[in-house]
Structure 1
Amino acid sequence: MAMATKAARVLRCLPAWSAALSAARPCVVGKASWLAPNTIRRFLTTNKVHGLFINYIDYCRPHLFARPSSNSMIDAMLDFLPDDDKERRRWWWSVLDHSNGLLLCDMGTPELCVCNPATRQWTFIPWAWRRVGGIYLAFDPAVSPHYEVLVIPAVPEPEKPAKRVIGKGSEEKPLLDPLFADEDNDTRRLMESEWPPTPWRLNMFSSRTGQWEERDFIRQGEPAGTIGDMLVDQAEPSGMGPRQRYAVYYQGALYVHCRGFFVLRLSLSDSTYQVIKTPSYGENGVFVKPYLGRSEKGVYFGVIEESQLHVWILSELSEQQMGWVLKYQHDLAHYAQHVGKYDRQMDAHWMVRDVLDTDHEDGDVAAITLPKERFDWDSDNDDFFTIKLDADEYPKHFDILGLHPYKEVVYLTTVFDVVGYHLNTSKVQYLGNSRPSPKSYYYGHSNGIFEAFVYTPCMVGEVIEGNIDQTSS
C-alpha cells in the first residue's frame, strides 16, 4: 500500500503526457519493480466518459465529440496515426469498435488498426477483406494487457437462380428445367440448415501472438434458427444507421448483436457460445436502430420506436438460460421536440474538434485553438433542463448513440444534437451539437451519423512498444 501511495504521488507530479507514458512503460519514471503491473492498472484505469467517437455519413474520418480541453492528453483526431506513406495513404477510414479504451479502425486499406488515443500507441493488422458479419474488439485491462480481434462470419446466402431468355427481347424468367433440380435442392438444404452451426469456426487475432488463428466454438443450447430465418433480418439498415451491429465485451465474454434477431455470447476462456434472442422490435414497420451496450448493471439492449424508449437488461432467467428483462420505458417526444427547437438557446458544453481551420484567404491552414475548460463530464452535476410543451406539438425522433458504461445514462441524438438522458430520474442534459464544422463537412440531405462509440480512456495496454509498426506477415 505504501508503494502504491508513493507511485500515486510521483505520477501526480508529472505532466499528463508523462503520466500516460509511465503507464505504458513504467521505466520512464524509475525502476519498473517499484509498482506492480496490477497496481498500475487499477490506478490508471478510469470510469469517466471522455466523449464519443463518431463516424459520419459521407465524410472521410471520425471525430471525437467531447467537452473541449486545451491540455488533454487524448488525441481527439488520432493524428499520431501515420497517413503520409504512399503505400498506406488513407483518405477514408472509420472506427469499427471500441473496447475499454482501445479503438479498432478500418483504415480503408487491406489492414485494420488497433490504437490507444490516450497513450498514442498503435499497430496495423493485416486483413484480407471479405464479406463478414462483423469485426469486433475484446480488451479488458483489469485482466490482461492483451486484446483479441474476432471476425463474425456472414450468414450464407444462396446464389441467384439460373435464368434464361425466352424469345428475342423478352424478359428473363426463372429456369424451370429438371436439369437444375440439384441446384434447387442445394438451395433448399442451405436455407434449412441451422444457424449458427456447431462447431463454429471463427477467425481471431491475438496481440499475445501477433497472428491470426482459427478457433472452433461449441454451442451451448439451441441455434437461433435456420439460415432462411436469418435472411428475413436485413443485412444492413435500410436508412442512415450503423453499418455493422454493436457489440460489448463484458466479464470475459463478447456479446454481439447478429443478423437474425439474436445476441451472440462468446466465451473466450472456454471457446463456447450461446444464442440469446433479442427483445421484439420493429414489428410496426417503423425503422429503428437497436443498440447493444454496457451500463451500470451489465449488458443492455435498447430501441426507440415512435419516441418510445425501451431498455432491457440481460439477466439469468434460469440455471442455463439468459434472457431480457424490461428495465426502463420512457416517452421522449417532448424532449426531442425541445432539443430540436431550442438547442441554440442552451449552453453547449461538448463540441467536435476538427483537424484544421481553413478560414484563410491564402489557403494556409492553422490548428484550432481549444478553449480552456474542465474536460471531464460530471453526469451528476452538469446542467439539466426540464420542459413543458403543448401536447399537440409534433414529436421529433431520437436515436441511441450509446450508454454510459458505469451509470444509468443513455446518450441520445436528434439529427446532430446530443443529450444525456438519466434513466432513473428522466433528467436531461444538453451536451451540444456533434456536427463537424461546415467548412469541412458540407450541409446536405444525406449528412448524418453512421455509428458512435462511447469512449473511456485507458492508460495501459501494450498495443505496441514505442509506436513502431509491428504488423505481422
Structure 2
Amino acid sequence: MDLPDELLHEVLRRVPPRRLAACRRVCRNWRDAIDGRGLVLEHLAPGPLRGIFVDFFDNFFDNRRHGFFSRAATPPIDGSLGFLPNTSRAWREWNRHCNISDHCNGLILFRNGRATYVCNPWTRRWAKLPWPAAGFPHGRGHLVFDPTLSLHYRVMCFPGVPKRPSPPVYPPPAKKPRGRYSLVTWTSTYVENLPLSLRESYEQEVESMGSMEWPPYSYAVQMFSSATGQWEDRHFVRQGDAVTTVSGMWSNPLADGVHGCHTAVCWQGAFYIIRSGGFIMRFSLLEDKYVTIKTPTLAQKLASHTNDYGYRIRPCLYLGKSKQGLYLTAHEGYELRIWIMHGVSESCHMPEWELKHQVDFKPSFSRFYTSNNTRKEVESWILDISEEGLNDRGDQGWDSEDDSIIDAEGGIGNNLQGETKKCYGVHLLGYHPCKEIIFLGNRYNGFAYYLGSSKLQYLGKLYPAGDTLLIMMSYITSFIYTPCKDDLLPAQNDR
C-alpha cells in the first residue's frame, strides 16, 4: 500500500541521516523518494570551504610536514591530524614519511610510513587500510568519495607507462654489481656496439613494447573498497580510440616534464584524472568503463624553464572544480591559463574547452613586495600545525575594499625590475569550490585571486611559525578542504 506523500515525508524526515543514506541504496524508487524531498543531500553534501591542507618538503632534513591554512573557525580543524595513531610532533620528526596523499569531499588519505589511513577531520574518525598483496605501485593513491551517492569510499592506484627495456649487459660481469651506484649508463653508442644478435633481439623487444596502445584497451587499476574491505584489480574498458602508443609516451616531453600538482577530481558521479602525457581519463565506476579526453593544444605546449635563481621549474597541469564545473589550469612559472570543460557526458566523449582566463602574475607580485616595504598587510589566514586547531580570532574574513587588494592587470615601471628577484615562483593551491577564486602561494605567502575582477588579495603567511629554514622548504601538494559531516568510518574518536 502506498503512503500519502505528506505521511511518507514525515516518516523519512525522522530517519537518522546515516540510516537514510543506507535506504537510498535499497532500490531506485526509495532513492528517488528520498532525493526528491532533499532529505539527505543537504546533510551529506560537502560543506563550504574551511581551508587548505598544505604539504611541505624540507630539503635540508629530507622530511615532510603538513599544515592547515585557513581563517579562524569554530569548531577548529586539527591541521596536524593528531587524532591519528603515531602523529605526534616527536613521531613526525622521527618518521620522515608522514604526508597527505589526497583529499576528496571531506575525507583525507594520509600516509604515515608504511601505514595508510583514510580519515575525516570533521568527525575525527579514521580507518587503516590493509597492505595490498602486490604492494603499493609507484606514486600516490587517489581517494574517490561521493557522499551524495554513497558513504563508502574507494582508493585507486593507477599503473604508469611501461619503462623502456634495458639493453643486455655485454660483456657479462664476472660478479653481480652491488650498491645503488653500480648501474650501467645506457647510451645509443653502447647499443650500437652490441653483438648483432643481442642488438637485434633488444631492438625487437623495444619495438614490440613500444607499439602497444596507451592507455590500453583494458586498463587494470588497483582498487580498495570500504564496502568489501579488500583490495582488488579492477579492469576498465576503454571507450573510443587510444591517445598514443607506449613509444609515443617515451618520446613525449609531457610524460616526464609535467608535474600534476592536483591531478584528480570526483565530479558528477565520475572520476577524472590527468595522466602522464597531458591527457585526462574519465572513469565510470558503475560501468567499469573509461574514456580519454584530450587537453587543449595550448596546454600541451608547456616547457620547463629556469627561474631568477637558476632553478629548473617544471610546468604543471591542475584539474579542479569550481562554480562552473571542471577547470583545467596550465601553470608555467608566473603564467596561468585556465579552461572550463563543457559538454562531457557518458554519450559525449569529446568536450569543448573554453579559454576562461590567462594572467602573468610577475608584475603583480613585484608591485606587492615593493609596496609591502612601507606598510604591514593584514593577515586574515594563518597556517596551523598544532593539534588544537586555530582559536577563534574574531571576524577576519575577506574585505574586497582593503589595501591588500592588487590589480593583476597592467605593467610595472622600470624601477621595479629588481623586485622580481624576490618572487620564487607561484604555486597554485586550489580553487574555491563555489566561487571563481584561485588560491596561490608565493614566497611562503598565501593569496586569493579573483577571476572576475583580476584582483589579487594577500591572505597570510604560508609556512609554520618559528621555522628558520624557509629557503629549504618547498610545496609538495595542497588540497582544498570541504568538510563532510557524516561517514562510515569506525567511531575511533567521535566529536
TM-score, normalised via structure 1 length = 0.79
Match of 1:274 in 2: 291
Question: Deviation of residue 171 (structure 1)?
Answer: 9.7
User: Could you say what secondary structure the match of 2:164 adopts?
Assistant: coil
Match of 1:435 in 2: 463
Which of 156, 160, 165 aligns to 1:154? It is 160
Match of 1:208 in 2: 227
Alpha-carbon contact 2:100-2:111 (below 8 Å) kept: yes
Which of 337, 340, 363 aligns to 2:366? It is 337
Match of 2:342 in 1: 315
Match of 2:196 in 1: 178
CA distance in 2, matches of 1:87, 1:335: 40
| TM-aligned CA distance change 1:444 to 1:398, over 3 Å | closer
Question: Deviation of residue 424 (structure 1)?
Answer: 1.2
CA-to-aligned-CA distance 1:191-228 (integer Å, 9 cap, x gap): 12111101112111111111112211111111120112
Match of 1:410 in 2: 438
Give the counterpart letter for 2:147 in structure 1.
P
1:118-137 paired onto structure 2 within 5 Å: 118-128=122-132, 129-132=135-138, 134-137=140-143
Aligned-pair Cα RMSD in Å: 3.8
1:84-103 paired onto structure 2 within 5 Å: 90-103=95-108
Match of 2:394 in 1: 373
Match of 1:54 in 2: 54
Match of 2:25 in 1: none
| TM-aligned CA distance change 1:96 to 1:178, over 3 Å | same
- 1:197 equivalent to 2:197? Answer no
CA distance in 2, matches of 1:131, 1:45: 31
Match of 1:386 in 2: 406
Question: Deviation of residue 55 (structure 1)?
Answer: 0.6
1:228-267 paired onto structure 2 within 5 Å: 228-231=247-250, 232-233=252-253, 246-267=263-284
CA distance in 2, matches of 1:379, 1:320: 41
Give the counterpart letter for 1:66 in structure 2.
S
Give the counterpart letter for 1:288 in structure 2.
P
CA distance in 1, matches of 2:329, 2:68: 23
- 1:449 equivalent to 2:467? Answer no
Question: Deviation of residue 187 (structure 1)?
Answer: 1.4
1:351-362 paired onto structure 2 within 5 Å: 351-355=382-386
| TM-aligned CA distance change 1:72 to 1:24, over 3 Å | farther
User: Could you say what secondary structure the match of 1:39 adopts?
Assistant: coil
| TM-aligned CA distance change 1:149 to 1:44, over 3 Å | closer
CA-to-aligned-CA distance 1:393-430 (integer Å, 9 cap, x gap): 33544221111121111111113111111111112221
Give the counterpart letter for 1:404 in structure 2.
H
Alpha-carbon contact 1:45-1:460 (below 8 Å) kept: no
CA distance in 2, matches of 1:90, 1:452: 21
CA distance in 2, matches of 1:401, 1:87: 27
Question: Deviation of residue 321 (structure 1)?
Answer: 1.6
User: Could you say what secondary structure the match of 2:358 adopts?
Assistant: strand
CA distance in 2, matches of 1:162, 1:341: 58
Question: Deviation of residue 261 (structure 1)?
Answer: 1.3
Alpha-carbon contact 1:77-1:355 (below 8 Å) kept: yes
Question: Deviation of residue 389 (structure 1)?
Answer: 6.8
User: Could you say what secondary structure the match of 1:163 adopts?
Assistant: coil
CA distance in 2, matches of 1:381, 1:458: 32
| TM-aligned CA distance change 1:333 to 1:217, over 3 Å | same
Question: Deviation of residue 352 (structure 1)?
Answer: 1.0
Which of 307, 310, 322 aligns to 1:295? It is 322
Give the counterpart letter for 1:103 in structure 2.
I
| TM-aligned CA distance change 1:131 to 1:368, over 3 Å | closer
| TM-aligned CA distance change 1:319 to 1:80, over 3 Å | closer
Question: Deviation of residue 467 (structure 1)?
Answer: 4.9
User: Could you say what secondary structure the match of 2:39 adopts?
Assistant: helix
Which of 224, 233, 243 aligns to 2:243? It is 224
| TM-aligned CA distance change 1:49 to 1:331, over 3 Å | same
Q: Which runs of 5+ in 2 are unaligned?
A: 1-5, 21-33, 174-183, 306-313
Match of 2:24 in 1: none
| TM-aligned CA distance change 1:199 to 1:406, over 3 Å | same
CA distance in 1, matches of 2:209, 2:268: 35
TM-score, normalised via structure 2 length = 0.76
Which of 372, 377, 381 aligns to 1:346? It is 377
CA distance in 2, matches of 1:91, 1:305: 29
Q: Which runs of 5+ in 1 are unaligned?
A: 11-21, 27-35, 357-366, 469-473
Question: Deviation of residue 305 (structure 1)?
Answer: 3.2
Question: Deviation of residue 42 (structure 1)?
Answer: 1.0
Alpha-carbon contact 1:192-1:226 (below 8 Å) kept: yes
Alpha-carbon contact 2:106-2:484 (below 8 Å) kept: yes
Aligned residue pairs total 427
